[in-house]
């Protein structure tokens, strides 16, 4: 009996290499706690306050407002909200430059 060859599967199209989304983008943005300056997150047994995290590095146009782009007043309000008992608003949007539409 002759050996049969398996039918060849069509090649999968390659994804474009530019730009990363999702969790990869999150790690590229280098999120930090604006209260302490430490990397975002904490271990289960750690006894420090709940972190108030923002990205420190802009990776794409979808990156939220970075720590450098926030004013001291915005940072203070954000820290205060994170330690309070009310729901937090994450609507930190960058302003569009004037003159561009």
The answer as to whether 48 is a domain residue is yes
Domain that holds residue 75: 22-83
> pLDDT tens, 75-100?
888 888 877 666 666 666 666 767 66
**Number of domains making up the chain:** 1
The answer as to whether 6 is a domain residue is no
The answer as to whether 40 is a domain residue is yes
> pLDDT tens, 14-72?
655 555 678 888 889 999 988 888 888 777 777 777 788 899 999 888 888 898 998 99
pLDDT at 47: 76
**Residue 101 predicted with pLDDT over 60:** no
Phi/psi of residue 58, each to 5°? Answer: -85, 125
pLDDT at 81: 80
Contact, 65 vs 24, CB < 8 A?
Answer: no
The answer as to whether 12 is a domain residue is no
The answer as to whether 4 is a domain residue is no
């Amino acid at each position: 009996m002759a050996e049969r060859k398996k039918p060849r599967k069509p090649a999968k199209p390659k994804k474009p290499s530019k730009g990363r989304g999702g969790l990869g983008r999150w790690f590229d943005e280098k999120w930090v706690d604006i209260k302490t300056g430490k990397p975002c997150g904490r271990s289960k047994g750690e006894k420090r306050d709940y972190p108030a995290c923002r990205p420190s590095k802009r990776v794409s146009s979808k990156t939220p407002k970075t720590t450098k782009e926030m004013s001291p007043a915005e940072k203070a309000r954000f820290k205060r909200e994170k330690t309070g008992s009310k729901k937090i608003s994450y609507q930190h949007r960058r302003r569009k430059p004037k003159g561009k539409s």
